[in-house]
Structure formats: C-alpha cells, structure tokens
Amino acid sequence: MDYYRIPYKAAGSGLRGLWVAIKKINLQGPRKKELKAYELMTVKINKNPNVVNYLGSYLVDNQFWLVMEFMDGGTLSDVISKTYLSEDAIAAISRECLQGLDFLHWNHVIYRDVKSENILLRTDGSVKLADFGLFAQLTPEQRRRSSVAGTSGWMAPEVLTGQPYGPKVDIWSFGIVGIEMVEREVPHRNETPVSAELPIARGERPQLRKPNRFSPHLCDFLSCCLQTDEEQRWSAKRLLQHPFVTAAKPASTLAPLINSAKKKTKKTRI
C-alpha cells in the first residue's frame, strides 16, 4: 500500500487542515476489482471506532485516491518490533481488535488479512483494523468461501487446505497476532512460506515457546483462537467475554507504549 500524509484541504469537505492518509489505486487491470471492494467497504463499515475511517475518494489522473484518517501511532508491527508488550497491553489490544472483528462478522464480512501490519494505532491509544483489499462479503446464497486469500504465516488451516470457510479464519489469524505480540515474531518466521504452512495444514497448532512464563488466562485465550477445528474455535463475540479480555484496561492506557515505540522508530530513522 502507498500511504501519504498530507494536509487535507478539499473545499467544502468540512475537513480543511485535517491530516489524512491516502491510498492510491491505479485504474487498470485487476485493480478495478480492488477499487470496487474499497468502495463497498467505505459504505459498509464506516464509522466504527475499531475500523479505520474512510473519509472520501477522488479520481486523480489515472488513479483512484482513497482518503482515510491518519493513524499517527503507526502499525502494531512497529510497536512489536520496538518495545515489549505486557499482558495488560496485549489484553487491551486484543479487546479493541476483537470489537472490530465482531462488527465486521456481524455485517457478514470476512477480513481475511488480519496481521500486525494491518492493525493501526493512534498516540491516544486507539486501535483500528485497516486495509480491506482481501475482504469477502458473505450473502444468504454464499455463506462460506473457499478461495485461498491472506498472508502466509497468518492463514487458518481451512484456508491452506482449500476447505470452505467462514469468519473464524480471522480469529485464527488474530491468534497468530497474539503469539506475535508475546514472542515478537510469528511462528516459523525463519522458514520458507511453504515449510511454515505445512505443519498448520497437517493440523498442528502453533504454541508459545515458554507458556509457563505467562498467565493461564493468556494461554487459554490463545488456545481458544488457535483451534484447528473451526467448530471449536471461538467467535469474536465469545472471545470478548473471555476472562483475559474482560479484565483488559481502557485503550487509553496504551498511549505511553505507542508513544514510546514511535520515539524509538524516529531515532532509528535519523
């Protein structure tokens, strides 16, 4: 994705002077399908506190510009790479992400690309899902999908094996994000994509390397996300009632962590 941070000064928009992010989509070939996807998502999921807010769209030469709110805290991936996340922080981030996923699933949308790079943060502690280029809209006629879509390392076993799947593929992917938040890397990170996917396709579950270092509630939460049997895997709505999540502190408590990671990122770039 190409994001640009520029002053948004569209006349009559009511958003003069607001800093925004812009994704540019070329209006050629397969990008047309992506364009239609984003147009639908703009209408479908706008104004949810845990989903990045799309502000408008414009045709500029041969490009379609999607204007969205600017998340000044960067990505969850940035935070993971720069600082240590406590269980309290992981719980708060999990609650915010699950609220977003529950909203999408209630609207019969499968995200299909849950990963730390697509979870954006703001310096006030806000946590939001972003980038819906791989989303799938379910209908009464098509309640499940079977096409392989997602990012290697985060894909659920039913996706890897070509089985029909539903919204719970997003829960598996978020379970991988959970391991990433704990161990600062995804399972099998140093292996090739094919080698990393084989154990999951065979029915193996990713595990924390040293589970005894963490609370039973955290370990059980990850286990509920990473059930290889889709029927046994918890839904986003049910996970929001898990003790690990219900004990989470307000999102505003994430602000110091996000700001600290942002400062470290700036120092690295200097």
Residue 268 lies in a domain: no
- Per mean pLDDT, which range of 142-151, 205-214, 220-229 is the poorest? 142-151
Active site residue 113: yes
Instruction: Give the CATH number, domain containing residue 133.
Output: 1.10.510.10
85 shares a domain with 126: yes
150 and 253 assigned to the same domain = yes
Among 61, 78, 88, 113, the active-site one is 113
The DSSP H or E segment spanning 20 is strand 18-26
Instruction: Say if residue 46 is in the same domain as residue 98.
Output: no
Same domain (yes/no): 156, 239: yes
Is residue 96 within 8 Å of 103, Cβ to Cβ?
no
pLDDT band at 222 (very low <50, low <70, confident <90, very high): very high
269 domain residue, yes or no: no
Residue of higher predicted confidence among 4 and 202: 202
For residue 18, being part of any structural domain is answered with yes
Q: Is residue 110 part of a domain?
A: yes
Answer yes or no: are the C-beta atoms of 258 and 125 closer than 8 Å: yes
- Residue 143 scores a pLDDT above 80: no
How many distinct structural domains can be found in the chain?
Answer: 2
pTM, 2 dp: 0.86
- Boundary-marking domain end, from 20, 53, 69: 69
Least confident of 58-72, 99-113, 130-144, 184-198: 184-198
Question: Is 128 found in the same domain as 41?
Answer: no
Q: Domain range for residue 110?
A: 74-262
The better pLDDT of the pair 150, 232 is held by: 232
Tens of pLDDT, residue by residue over 86-101, are 999 999 999 999 999 9
239 contacts 225 by C-beta, under 8 angstroms: yes
**Is residue 133 domain-shared with residue 254, that is, in the same domain?**
yes
Give per-residue pLDDT as tens, 32-66: 555 556 555 555 566 789 998 887 777 788 777 77
Over residues 124-129, mean pLDDT: 96
Domain endpoint, select from 69, 94, 109: 69
Task: Give the per-residue pLDDT at 154.
Answer: 87
Of 69, 86, 107, the last residue of a domain is 69
DSSP secondary-structure letter at 189?
T
Most confident of 7-11, 141-145, 263-267: 263-267
Pair (53, 155) in one structural domain = no
Residues 119, 49 share a domain: no
* Strand (E) or helix (H) holding 8: strand 3-8
User: Taken in order 198, 145, 103, 223, is the CA torsion positive or negative?
Assistant: negative
